[in-house]
Structure 1
Amino acid sequence: MSVSLYYSARRDEPLTDAETATVGRIAAARHASFPHPGEEGLHLYERGSDAAGQVLAGSTKLPRAPERVLPVIAHVLDSVTALRRALPGAAWHVHLDDLDVDWDEDEGYALPGMRDAGLLTELDGL
């Protein structure tokens, strides 16, 4: 059984050319800084015309190795945080399968404990 992180943004106005370029720059930078080769990082779907106003969407299949799950989640949520901040006025939905990931204006998207050094060390020992 796999677990995935899903992210999408909707708004009435389509992305501008400048926003599309910004999304591309953010995605490229986040791909370049992804620390786990062989695992899936930020994965944005190809955009087509969407009558429901979806301007961005993607998903990430999480690794099975316990020691990689939280670092991958943290990296992808940081990526989605950067994307959200670059697309004003969009309504975002970010969730880990059936669990919604809440937005915090200061921290962005995060799950409790995802940066806890003790937990990361414990998972690395599994």
Structure 2
Amino acid sequence: MSVSLYYCAGRATPLTVAETAAVERIVAAHMASFPYEDQESLYLYDRDDSRPDEIVAGSTKMPFDPGKVLPVLDHVLVSVTELRRALPGAEWRVRLDDLDVPWDGTGGYAFPGMRGADLAAELGGLQGPGLPSAVAVRPAAAGPSVLPPAGSGRGTVTKGEISKSTHCQECKRVG
């Protein structure tokens, strides 16, 4: 059984050209600094015309390796925080399966205590963008992309694959 982080934003007005460019920049920076080649990263779904108010939506499957869960979760939440700040006036929903991820205007999306030095030390000096230690930045892949890394098993989500589940219906899709 897997656990996924789901994120979505909606508003009545579509993305502007400047906002679209900001989203692309944030995604490219995230992909360039993501610490694991073998794990799923920030993944934004293709635009869905049946959801006209949805401006951004995506999901990330959490790793099975317990030592990678917190760094991946933190890295993606930092990126979703940047997306939220770049898209004013949107209503956001961020969930780790059935659990809402709290929003803090200063710190962004995070669970209480997840970025504490004590937790990082207890878990063996975990590193990530919001964690006490800095994550090693790997070189950017060729060109910005909102697609998942090669070999992640996730591709473009089509309209026929949209989940009909009431669980986080605003942002959960099958991918």
- TM-score, normalised to structure 1, is 0.92
1:5, 1:59 within 8 Å by CA — same for their partners in 2?
Answer: yes
2:57 match: 57
Aligned-partner SS, 1:36: coil
2:107 match: 107
- Alpha-carbon distance between aligned partners in 1 of 2:83 and 2:106, rounded to the nearest angstrom: 15
- Alpha-carbon distance between aligned partners in 1 of 2:94 and 2:74, rounded to the nearest angstrom: 13
**Structure 1 portions without partners, runs of 5+:** none
1:45, 1:58 within 8 Å by CA — same for their partners in 2?
Answer: yes
Alpha-carbon shift at residue 117 of structure 1 (Å): 3.8
Larger Rg: 2
Aligned length: 125
1:37 match: 37
Quick check: which one's helix share is greater? Answer: 1
- Alpha-carbon distance between aligned partners in 2 of 1:124 and 1:4, rounded to the nearest angstrom: 24
**Structure 2 portions without partners, runs of 5+:** 126-175
2:151 match: none
Quick check: which one's strand share is greater? Answer: 1
**Which whole-Å deviations, capped at 9, do the CAs of 1:1-22 have from their partners, x for residues lacking one?**
1000000000000101111111
1:3, 1:61 within 8 Å by CA — same for their partners in 2?
Answer: yes
1:48 match: 48
CA 1:82/1:45 → structure 2, altered by over 3 Å: closer, same or farther? same
More moved, 94-103 vs 48-57? 48-57
Aligned-partner SS, 1:88: coil
> Which amino acid in the other structure matches residue 79 of structure 2?
S
Alpha-carbon shift at residue 60 of structure 1 (Å): 0.2
> Which amino acid in the other structure matches residue 98 of structure 1?
D
For the pair 1:70 / 2:75, whether they are aligned, the reply is: no
2:14 match: 14
2:96 match: 96
- Alpha-carbon distance between aligned partners in 2 of 1:59 and 1:26, rounded to the nearest angstrom: 15
- Alpha-carbon distance between aligned partners in 1 of 2:113 and 2:68, rounded to the nearest angstrom: 14
CA RMSD, Structure 1 to Structure 2 (Å): 1.6
**Which whole-Å deviations, capped at 9, do the CAs of 1:18-76 have from their partners, x for residues lacking one?**
11111011101111000111101111111132445111000000001111101101000
